Amino acid sequence: MSTTSFTPRVFSGIQPSGGLTLGNYLGAIKRFVDMQGPDFETVYCMVDLHAISVWQDPAALAHNTRELCAGFIAAGIDPEKSILINQSQVPEHAQLGWIFNCVARMGWMQRMTQFKDKAGKNAQNVSLGLFGYPALMAADILVYHATHVPVGEDQKQHLELTRDIAAKFNHDYGVDFFPITEPVIEGAATRVMSLRDGSKKMSKSDPSDASRINMTDDADTIAKKIRKAKTDPDALPSEAKGLEDRPEARNLVNIYASLSDQSVDQVLGEVGGQQFGTFKPKLAELAVSKLSPISSEMARLMNDPSEIDRILSHGAARAREITAPILRQTYEIVGMVGPV
């Protein structure tokens, strides 16, 4: 089954669970911005219902939702061009999520590596929501009949599950109703690694603040973290092949390539042969020049939270024009008796 008969539509989401990192920016938000335009309708979401699969302080959740919205706008998401929402204001996400709980199989969910990583040894004591999370994620996407989903590498397995859920629903009800969504995992920075350990993903939950660049870090902090980033003693190679067994070096080059909109080979053509003592200050300067306008704009937007709330309720109204009819048709397909 192809997605060609569906309107080209992009959906993606980020959890408002506190703090945005350079990984979120390069792996997700920057690409959300690039996909705005004539080729797609774009819907971007703060997934607050997902966030509470792990306990969130209520005041912090509200603050983080607004701050994430400010981050999206500051990075270049235009709330007129794109539909910008928080998940809980569009109730069809949760409603379709229930239907998908009844489509997804236990065995599929048990294979999800993100659940296994997050639950760890504590699997009996985490919320049922954390386990069911990927079915709600599938609903987020499919309640828009979205055809393309830009995400970082870590979400690939969840998108495969989304395709499985769509295919099983279509098969079980004998319809061609949900599209088989395409993951969009592209560019030099689909997996930004920790600055302290090139084998670990850069993450907002890493206990070491030095391991990541936060979108709200000031210029001095960014420069210091890059200067201290773990590297090896060799000079930079002049071709991508030379980065194969050098995860820390590869990570810094990938970040440079992504921030400057170049390929890794173009970057190495420019900096190949240089020592890190020369390359790191260049990278720091580039990172500061790209990130500090975003963080100062975020801070400015956060001075007027009522404007952010207005943008989110406007987004929800626009979203529901898409989601309400899709949910109604889903209910009809499933056999739910509706209002007359």
Of the candidate residues 10, 28, 165, 215, the single one contacting ligand AMP (CB under 6 A) = 28
Measured over all CA atoms, what is the biggest interatomic distance in the chain, rounded to whole angstroms? 73
The binder of 11, among ligand TRP, ligand AMP, none, by C-beta within 5 to 8 A per type, is ligand TRP
Cβ–Cβ under 8 Å, residues 216 and 298? yes
Cβ–Cβ under 8 Å, residues 35 and 148? yes
Catalytic residue from among 156, 168, 200, 204: 204
Angle at the Cα of 69 (from 43 to 129), degrees rounded to 5? 75
Cβ–Cβ under 8 Å, residues 195 and 230? yes
Catalytic residue check, 118 = yes
Draw the binding track, 103-142, toward ligand TRP (x: CB under 6 A; -: no contact). ----------------------------------x--xx-
Asked if 12 is part of the footprint of ligand TRP (rule: CB under 6 A), the reply reads yes
The binder of 192, among ligand AMP, ligand TRP, none, by C-beta within 5 to 8 A per type, is ligand AMP
Task: Give the shortest CB-286-to-ligand TRP separation in angstroms.
Answer: 25
Task: Give the shortest CB-102-to-ligand AMP separation in angstroms.
Answer: 25
Overall residue count recorded for the chain in this entry: 340
CA distance 164 to 8: 20
The binder of 65, among ligand AMP, ligand TRP, none, by C-beta within 5 to 8 A per type, is none
Catalytic residue check, 81 = no
CA distance 143 to 90: 10
- Sheet containing strand 182-184, edge to edge, reads 83-86, 41-46, 9-14, 148-150, 182-184
Catalytic residue check, 201 = yes
Residues 13 to 32: which contact ligand TRP by CB under 6 A?
A: 13-15
- The amino acid sitting at 10 is V
Of the candidate residues 112, 151, 255, 271, the single one contacting ligand AMP (CB under 6 A) = 151
For CA atoms 93, 98, 102, 108, the dihedral sign is positive
The binder of 140, among ligand AMP, ligand TRP, none, by C-beta within 5 to 8 A per type, is ligand TRP
Question: What are 170's two structure tokens?
Answer: 């279509």
* Neighbour count for residue 335 (Cβ, 10 Å): 7
Backbone φ, ψ for residue 182 (5° rounding)? -95, 125
Task: Give the shortest CB-174-to-ligand AMP separation in angstroms.
Answer: 33
Cβ–Cβ under 8 Å, residues 87 and 45? yes
DSSP code per residue over 52-78: TTS---HHHHHHHHHHHHHHHHHHT--
Residues 2 to 21: which contact ligand AMP by CB under 6 A?
A: 14-15
Please, which residues have CB within 8 angstroms of residue 323's CB and are 6 or more apart in sequence?
90, 92, 93, 143, 144
Task: Give the shortest CB-69-to-ligand TRP separation in angstroms.
Answer: 15
Of the candidate residues 155, 254, 258, 323, the single one contacting ligand AMP (CB under 6 A) = 155
Cα separations in angstroms, 24 against 31, 68, 150, 300? 10, 11, 11, 21
Draw the binding track, 161-200, toward ligand AMP (x: CB under 6 A; -: no contact). -----------------------------xxx--------
Express the helix, strand and coil content of the chain in percent, nearest 5 each.
Answer: 55, 10, 35
Draw the binding track, 202-231, toward ligand AMP (x: CB under 6 A; -: no contact). x-----------------------------
Asked if 149 is part of the footprint of ligand TRP (rule: CB under 6 A), the reply reads yes
Of the candidate residues 9, 10, 27, 330, the single one contacting ligand AMP (CB under 6 A) = 27
Which residue ranges make up the site for ligand AMP (CB under 6 A)? 14-15, 23-24, 27-28, 151-152, 154-155, 190-192, 201-202
Which residue ranges make up the site for ligand TRP (CB under 6 A)? 11-15, 47, 50, 137, 140-141, 149, 151, 155, 158
Active-site residue set: 118, 201, 204
